[in-house]
């Protein structure tokens, strides 16, 4: 079972608004409301891929109830700690005419020290059923990065596969706990390593730096349908067929779920797992809602992903 940890879960509302323009009144052509936050998006994608999953984290207030209802409706097993604060709302505005995606995410509620302690205890119990743990998304505003670092260490000490996908500040801290895999997008990775990725060599240097900073493995996704993954044998580069995008929000989450489903559940070799990852991400881009895609379409797109081994040996960096 893969345990996903969403410390700042959200009610994720997506509105399709043609010709969106600031300062004007609009009507949404279409809308979707889902339980959200990166870890929950990953759980939704894993569930679609047939991987046993439990979603944990914090949820509170009416939004917390809506998050639980959304998870139940999607048949995603969950075990969320109730908090006094109101879980946040994340709004995505999709303009199909201007081809823009605008996100407005609340910071989320504070989580009291007692609630944090309760989560820590509970987490230890959930680990007994897990083979892998995915820590994804931002932290509640008053939560120290050390809280997450300790959770990663706790999971790692039990010999579990650990994955971190969070904001650059949190990711930088989490690298100290040596997670099995980190999966930032290009922008986040650039911010963590401190330089821009312009050429392929920059991505490879970025991966090497993430490994040097503590990750056992790293993948970096980019908007142009391109991604890189370190493996024991070297680095793989994957190019997905570009699809007509509806919304790429959650494509990174679908990518991570596809990768984990491939590596840990289907026992694929890394090149096949990367294809599945990029197929899921592309299928997500064709669909409204984060971590939502048609699995058959994802498999079809996976078949068209071009994967190749790329080499880079800058002064013995281990990638």
Ligand X SMILES: Nc1ncnc2c1ncn2[C@@H]1O[C@H](COP(=O)(O)OP(=O)(O)OP(=O)(O)O)[C@@H](O)[C@H]1O
Cβ contacts of 134 within 8 Å, gap of 6 or more:
2, 3, 4, 5, 39, 42, 163, 165, 256, 260
Interaction residues for ligand F1X, span 12-31 (CB under 6 A): 12
Number of residues lying near ligand X (CB under 6 A): 22
Query: What is the pattern of x (binds ligand X, CB under 6 A) and - over residues 183-202?
Result: --x-----------------
Q: Are 190 and 197 in contact (CB under 8 A)?
A: yes
**Segment near ligand X (CB under 6 A); pick from 27-35, 105-113, 148-156, 225-233:** 225-233
Question: Does residue 90 touch ligand F1X according to CB under 6 A?
Answer: yes
Question: Does residue 252 touch ligand F1X according to CB under 6 A?
Answer: yes
Question: Does residue 281 touch ligand X according to CB under 6 A?
Answer: yes
Map residue 270 onto helix, strand or coil: helix
Number of residues lying near ligand F1X (CB under 6 A): 17
By beta-carbon proximity to ligand F1X, the closer residue of 38 and 68 is: 38
Rule CB under 6 A: choose which of 57, 179, 250, 270 binds ligand X: 250
Rule CB under 6 A: choose which of 45, 87, 138, 221 binds ligand F1X: 138
Give 136's strand partners: 165
- Rounded to whole angstroms, the Cα distance separating 6 from 64 reads 12
Which tokens go with 143?
Answer: 């939560």
Rule CB under 6 A: choose which of 154, 222, 231, 237 binds ligand X: 222
Question: Does residue 221 touch ligand X according to CB under 6 A?
Answer: yes
**Segment near ligand X (CB under 6 A); pick from 70-78, 140-148, 153-161, 241-249:** 241-249
**Segment near ligand F1X (CB under 6 A); pick from 24-32, 198-206, 232-240, 248-256:** 248-256
Rule CB under 6 A: choose which of 36, 85, 179, 225 binds ligand X: 225
- Rounded to whole angstroms, the Cα distance separating 90 from 103 reads 7
DSSP string, 102-160: EEEE-------HHHHHHHHHHHHHHGGG-SEEEEESPPPTT--HHHHHHHHHHHHHTT-
Name the DSSP class of 49.
Answer: T
By beta-carbon proximity to ligand F1X, the closer residue of 8 and 56 is: 8
By beta-carbon proximity to ligand X, the closer residue of 116 and 284 is: 284
DSSP string, 200-264: HHHHHHHHHHHHHTT-SEEEEEETTTEEEEEETTEEEEEEPPP---S--TTHHHHHHHHHHIIII
Sign of CA dihedral 111, 117, 118, 121: positive
Which tokens go with 181?
Answer: 């895999």
What radius of gyration, in Å, describes the C-alpha atoms of the chain?
Answer: 19
Question: Does residue 133 touch ligand X according to CB under 6 A?
Answer: no
**Segment near ligand X (CB under 6 A); pick from 11-19, 60-68, 145-153, 224-232:** 224-232
Rule CB under 6 A: choose which of 252, 258, 262, 289 binds ligand X: 252
Question: Does residue 117 touch ligand X according to CB under 6 A?
Answer: no
Binding site for ligand X (CB under 6 A): 185, 221-223, 225-227, 240, 242-243, 245, 248-253, 255, 278, 281-282, 285
């Amino acid at each position: 079972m893969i345990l996903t940890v969403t410390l700042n879960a959200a009610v994720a509302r997506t509105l399709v608004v043609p010709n969106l323009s600031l300062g004007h009144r609009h009507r949404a052509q279409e809308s979707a409301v889902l339980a959200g936050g990166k870890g929950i998006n990953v759980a939704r994608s894993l569930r679609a891929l047939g991987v046993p999953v439990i979603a944990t984290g914090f949820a509170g207030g009416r939004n917390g109830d809506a998050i639980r209802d959304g998870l139940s409706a999607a048949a995603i097993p969950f075990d969320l700690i109730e908090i006094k604060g109101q879980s946040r709302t994340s709004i995505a505005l999709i303009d199909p005419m201007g081809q823009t995606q605008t996100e407005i995410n609340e910071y989320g509620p504070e989580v009291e020290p007692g609630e944090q302690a309760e989560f820590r205890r509970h987490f230890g119990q959930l680990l007994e059923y897990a083979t892998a743990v995915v820590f994804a998304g931002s932290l509640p505003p008053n939560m120290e990065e050390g809280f997450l670092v300790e959770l990663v260490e706790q999971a790692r000490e039990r010999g579990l596969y650990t994955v971190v996908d969070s904001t650059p500040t949190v990711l930088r801290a989490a690298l100290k706990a040596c997670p099995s895999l980190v999966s930032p997008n290009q922008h986040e990775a650039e911010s963590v390593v401190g330089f821009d990725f312009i050429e392929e060599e920059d991505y490879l240097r970025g991966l090497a730096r993430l490994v040097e900073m503590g990750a056992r493995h790293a993948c970096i996704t980019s908007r142009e349908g391109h991604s890189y993954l370190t493996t024991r044998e070297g680095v793989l580069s994957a190019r997905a067929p570009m699809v007509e995008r509806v919304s790429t929000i959650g494509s990174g989450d679908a990518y991570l779920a596809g990768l984990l489903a491939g590596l840990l559940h289907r026992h694929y070799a890394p090149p096949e797992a990367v294809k599945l990852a990029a197929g899921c991400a592309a299928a997500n881009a064709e669909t409204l809602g984060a971590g939502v895609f048609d699995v058959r379409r994802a498999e079809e797109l996976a078949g068209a992903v071009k994967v190749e081994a790329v080499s880079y040996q800058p002064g013995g960096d281990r990638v």
